[in-house]
Chains A and B, each alone.
Chain A
Amino acid sequence: MSRQSVEYPRVSWASQRSLRFWMILVFGGLSALVVISVSLVRSFGLPSLGIEGDYQSFQRREVIRLGLVADLKKELLQSWLRERLGDVSTLADDPEVQADVFTIVESIQKGIAPSAMAAMPEAIRIASRFRSTSRYYSAIEAMYLVDALSGEIIVSSLQGNLGRGPDDREQLKSIVESRQDNSFLFVGSNNNGGNRSMIIRRSVHGLDGDMHVAVLFSRIDIDAVLMPILSNGGGLGLSGEVLLTDKDRHLLTPLEQPLTDGGVASEKYRLDSLPISLASSGKEGVLFTEDYRKVPVLAAFRHVNLESGTGWGMVVKQDVAELRKAFIRRLTVSLWVGVAGVVVVFICCVAFARTLTAPLRRVTGAALRLGNGDFSQKVPQATGYREVTELTTAFEGMAGYLKEWDATLNREIAFKTEQLNNEFAERKRLMAAIEQTGEAIILTNEKGIIEYVNPAFETVSGYSRVEAVGQTSSILKSGKQDEAFYRNLWETILNGRSWQGRITNKHKDGSLYVEDAAISPVFAPSGKIVNFVAVKRDVTAHIRATEDKARLEEQLRQAQKMESIGRLAGGVAHDFNNMLGVILGYGEIVQRSLAADDPLQEPVSEIVKAGQRSAALTRQLLAFSRKQVLQVGVLSLNDVVRDLEKMLRRLIGEDIELTLSLDERLARVMADAGQIEQVVINLVVNARAAMLHGGKLIIETVNVELDFDYTQDHPGVQPGWYVMLAVSDTGCGMDKATQANIFEPFFTTKERGKGTGLGLSTVFGIVKQSGGNILVYSDPGQGTTFKIYFPQTQIEPQANDVLVAERKRSIDENLSILVVEDEAPFRKMVERMLKNLGYHQLFFAASGDEALRLVEGKKMKPDLVITDVVMPGMSGKELVARLRENRPDLKVLYVSGYTDDFIDHHDLGHPETPFLQKPFSVRQLAEKIEEVLLSG
């Protein structure tokens, strides 16, 4: 097997480099680093550790050197100045000179001309002293003695200038008058070719010491003596320079370099550089700064004190570039030596690495072949180092061992591979089952941190796997279970038991859902709990369906109850009406038959009134049981409410504020306007009772659409467009128990005797009979709202939906009337009524059959048939049908105790069908008979 076939694992760049590379890099690199570091440290030091390098030493040396040069220059200058002062002082303080000066000044004061003074022995002696002093120090150009009063020269070391004074007399004048001894004055070169000079002043006192008689001046050529002292002299290199200024920074020495603008500084040029400013103002030190050429320099500045108390500024400077040149040269050499050392070290490293790694490369070749499975390969005997020989021998032994192991390992691998494949397949199936199951599965660690969730969990909870993993299961907490619930759960599973139960959890979107969950611990082989697994099923839909069913059943039960109550009420009302018909009928008959002043008139009247109140109650019962005859027409609820508004305001009183909110685009409905009025009034009365201390009452109308969902929750209601009539109050409201019973007849929360309990049941009955639906919304203390929904209608209203006959007809006493009534008392009562009305052609039958027989047997032809609707055997409708077979124009008036017989069972729902509700009065009967007879 060739070496090229070996595939190296993907490893880092560093691991791919050879040992030789690393040896060269490490040893060579380290050596270079050490050489460079040493070189740098030696050159620049380690300032943070306080170690100085050559550069700092160089700087220190240069600063010290320049400072010493400056100190030396200053000392030389000051010594020289002191010497020159000494020259003058020696003369001025000499008693002989003082005596001679005194004599000369006295002579002047006596009027001797200055020109004659030269011959005075005293003047000759002083002049001789002047000349000898000048000879002693050749730089002294001249010495003068000036009269303190006249200011004229009285003795001079030069010939011929007595009296008229020297050329610089004007310049001397100021210092003569200043009385400042030991002062210096610089005098520039003049037009006569005079040199730049310095003048020293000294007073000459009289012998008593108090009288100031003359002034001695010494004039010195400074270019001849001062400049050599201040000159560079080679000690400051090529760029070195010494500058001297007076206290106002005016140059006393010429500049050696041109100014930045190329100009040459003249005498008295004022220098503005920092070191000069410092020096002339009395400061001393050393600075790295810029000079007048704006060139970086190292400058030592010194203040030269003068006896007069002022001083000069002196700066000794040298260009930094020149100073650094020597250092840079040394640094360059040092660096080159370092580089050479590094190169040598690298070469040695390369050679040594090659020698060291050659046998290793041979062993590596054998190892590579071994690595490629060539166990038959003989390991070459490498020579060189003991370690390599030992490595080769050990490697050979290892190769044999590996060969045996290879065979064993192959067998093991085959067995384990098959085992793993089986396990893997099983786990894959298991995983697929978990992933595809409908139950949500969560796997957490022992601390409750979610480690896995299946797709069903994602569907149920709304959390993706990425979102859920790493969180705790508390992300699902809905707050519907208390802490004790969770404590119990955790205690159970932490104790190694499974927990089962129902939990309300929170979906990611915040909605709640209910799960039946089973949570179990997962144990490691050691028995320690390592995970918890929860298997959960979402039972929210199931619970909701169950609850919906229960609710609908409850609603149905309620509806059936109301229906039963209605039937019961209707039945009772029917029988009552029959009986009340008799009571009222006879009552009226008796009342009519009695004289107005008859003592029985009052009792009979009370009987009739009681009967009428009972009849009213019975009508309300009928209304609840939806068994009234409705005068149905197309109408607008807005019109009904507006017509009632005035009356309603009176009804509720001033404490209650009535607000109408009526939809101007309100659709119309099919209903009995009178009944709707009754509904509104009853609801308003109910609201007033709830607002004993005042409040707000709102009547609202609006078009609404009731959708399918709404109708699902309200059985019996069809989807579609409705007109809503809402009556809301801000009264005391009511609880749920009260709301469940308010529509039942005779249910009242009022005190006994204060209400009939039929108001809201009447409303209920009218609404239901009108095809509508009524709902109540209320909470104790929060007011009450009744919402009534009437189906909208598209039918246009007509001018007169209910025709009322206005025509009057006189009673035809010969009119033949057939009365069919199974209730004998009622039949007898009707007979008395009709007779009371003046009708005498009267025939009576207890049933339909008897009526037929009567008509057919007696061959009579009744003009009007008054028949009960419901009778044993033949009904009223059948009877009329039979009679109209021969007499199609037969007039018929139906009477009944309730209306369902009339409307529902006998299909006589046409509004124009004549009908009279039991009980009725004589007057009502008369009007109805007249109406029937006048109808077409």
Chain B
Amino acid sequence: MDRRHKMMVIRCVLGLVAVVAIYLIMAKPKGESAGAQIQQDLSDHPIYSTYHFSPLEGVVRIGIQPFWVFAANLAEAMRRDRLLTEDLTTLGLRLEFYSFLKGPDINFFMEKGQLDVGMSGYLPTLRQASRQDVVVAATMDRNFYDLVAVKALTIKDLEGKNIGFTPGSDAHHALVEALLLTGTKANLVPLDGNEMPAAMRSGQIDAGIIWEPVASVLRLDNPGARVVYRSRWASFLYFRGDFAKAQPQAIAAILAALARASRWLDEDSDNVVASSRWAIDACRALAPTDPLVLADFITQSKKANILSGEPVLLESDMDDRGLLASAFQFLKDEDMIPAGTEWEKVRATFDARSMESILSEPQKWRLNRFDYENKEEWQ
């Protein structure tokens, strides 16, 4: 190693130490750990306390996130997939969908055994995989988190500013990583995604890192707001372990429905428009929120569709230097997962073969046949 490389390594190490120290100060402005913030008891949540999770054996309970381009499009398509309904009926099952504001909320109810299937970003997925017996079987979508800021052009311009983020989300990881890499000190303000537009309007935050469609709402809502930083993420579909063991056929049907939905959305941009309308309706049904601009939702959904591809688990995501390994280390550093959790054990919960098997038999799983309820009314 020559002198230049040595200096670079030393600088990197020193920089890392410095930014870790800065992060330790910044990331916990209220003396409360991020881990503590995401471990809330949601039993009395104003929205979720109204849900009645079916206790029947023949019901498959799926937790979805409407405030989430493009996973919401996929989920809403699956909800309306008559072929999926048919497959499950054959198995003596039926589906029930429950909407949530963010991934950690889905995990809370899955941990209580009230949900069988969940979908969330990589950080909540990893966290659940380290805490509960789950099977991660498919990639839902791929997109970017946007750090939207007013009066700032680069991350460094956010020095000392208030930045909204959702604790325990992928955006949390992306934000901390960005601040560390650029050596920026900022005040982190924990907020749910749907709270962020109001917070930025009121001046409570100067910037917010969030996924679509809220990122677009922030940009449209605040003149001069810009995306100063973006970070790629992936989201996953996962099943409770005991459910996966008991209902392998149901899992295959659900994975096939996901692959089908992906292909359906890929087939025609009109399908993206239709699914976006369904997703917006689901958003409005879930929580009063800022008016979502349909056109923008559709635009973002189209972009996300281009990025997403087939819903398979990619080896590049799961290798030891990939996105998931990096996020796993972040969770450990933040004490958001048990200290003794091993990466290999978490890695083993990711099952790529099921989806690959389904994709290799498109005829059998009717991957190229599309039959969705109410699709026509959006044409």
Contact = CB atoms under 8 A, between A and B. Distances in A.
Interface stretch (A233-241, A305-313, A859-867): A305-313
B178 A283 contact: yes
A50 B234 CA distance: 38
A285 interface: yes
A308 B181 contact: no
A303 interface: yes
B360 interface: yes
B175 to A, nearest CB: 11
B361 A247 contact: no
B248 interface: no
A28 to B, nearest CB: 38
Contacts of A828: none
B229 interface: yes
A309 B317 contact: yes
Interface string A411-435: 0000000000000000000000000
B231 interface: yes
B323 interface: yes
9 contacts: A209-B368, A210-B360, A281-B323, A283-B230, A283-B231, A285-B154, A285-B155, A309-B309, A309-B317
B231 A282 contact: yes
A200 to B, nearest CB: 14
B25 to A, nearest CB: 22
Closest 6 CB pairs of A and B: A282-B232, A284-B230, A285-B229, A309-B314, A63-B153, A209-B362
Interface string A57-87: 0011001100000000000001000100000
A212 interface: yes
A287 interface: yes
A305 B306 contact: yes
A182 B360 contact: no
A209 B151 CA distance: 53
A283 B309 contact: no
A261 interface: yes
B204 interface: no
Nearest to A56: B153
A283 B306 contact: no
A345 interface: no
Nearest to A78: B306
Interface of A: 50, 59-60, 63-64, 78, 82, 179, 181-182, 205, 208-210, 212, 247, 260-261, 272, 274, 277-278, 281-288, 303, 305, 307-311
Contacts of A287: 154-156, 182
Nearest to A261: B4
Contacts of B139: 309
B307 interface: yes
A284 B230 CA distance: 5
Given A282-B233, A285-B228, 8 more contacts: A60-B153, A181-B310, A278-B181, A284-B227, A285-B154, A287-B155, A308-B314, A309-B312
B232 A286 contact: no
Main secondary structure of the interface of A (DSSP, over half): mixed
B154 A310 contact: no
B153 A310 contact: no
Nearest to B356: A179
B100 interface: no
Nearest to A248: B321
Contacts of A282: 144, 231-233, 323
A780 to B, nearest CB: 71
B181 A274 contact: yes
Interface string B50-92: 0000000000000000000000000000000000000000000
Contact of B232 (A60, A288, A311): A311
B104 to A, nearest CB: 22
B363 interface: yes
Contacts of A307: 309
A308 B273 CA distance: 24
A180 to B, nearest CB: 9
A309 B155 contact: no
A574 B110 CA distance: 132
B246 interface: no
B142 interface: yes
Contacts of A272: 8
B364 interface: yes
B361 A210 contact: yes
Contacts of B361: 210
Nearest to B362: A209
B306 A288 contact: no
Contacts of B151: 50
A210 B316 contact: no
A751 B355 CA distance: 126
Nearest to A50: B151
B47 to A, nearest CB: 32
A318 B306 CA distance: 30
Nearest to B151: A50
A226 B228 CA distance: 27
Contacts of A78: 306
Nearest to A179: B356
A212 B360 contact: yes
Contacts of A64: 153, 226
Nearest to A307: B309
A283 B368 contact: no
A64 B153 CA distance: 8
A580 to B, nearest CB: 110
Contacts of B360: 210, 212
A68 to B, nearest CB: 11
A307 B314 CA distance: 11
Contacts of A50: 151
B123 to A, nearest CB: 14
Nearest to A278: B181
B285 to A, nearest CB: 31
Interface string B292-329: 00000000000000110110101011000001000000
A287 B182 CA distance: 9
A318 to B, nearest CB: 15
B153 A286 contact: yes
A683 B2 CA distance: 104
Nearest to A274: B181
Contacts of B154: 63, 285-288
A660 to B, nearest CB: 79
Contacts of B362: 205, 209-210
A177 to B, nearest CB: 13
B363 A209 contact: yes
A210 B312 CA distance: 17
Nearest to B177: A283
Contacts of B317: 309
Residue with the greatest number of chain A CB neighbours at <10 A, chosen from B232, B234, B323: B232
Interface string B137-156: 00100101001000101111
B178 to A, nearest CB: 7
Contacts of A205: 362
Contacts of B367: 209
Contacts of B316: 247, 309-310
Interface in B205-257: 226-234
Contacts of A285: 147, 154-155, 178, 228-230
B327 to A, nearest CB: 12
A78 B306 CA distance: 10
Contact of B142 (A261, A284, A309): A309
Contacts of B226: 64
A285 B145 CA distance: 12
A306 B169 CA distance: 24
A214 to B, nearest CB: 15
A208 B363 contact: yes
Contacts of B364: 210
Given A210-B361, A308-B309, A310-B316, A283 B232 contact: yes
Contacts of B227: 284
B281 to A, nearest CB: 29
A422 B53 CA distance: 113
A584 to B, nearest CB: 112
A751 B361 CA distance: 136
A310 B315 CA distance: 10
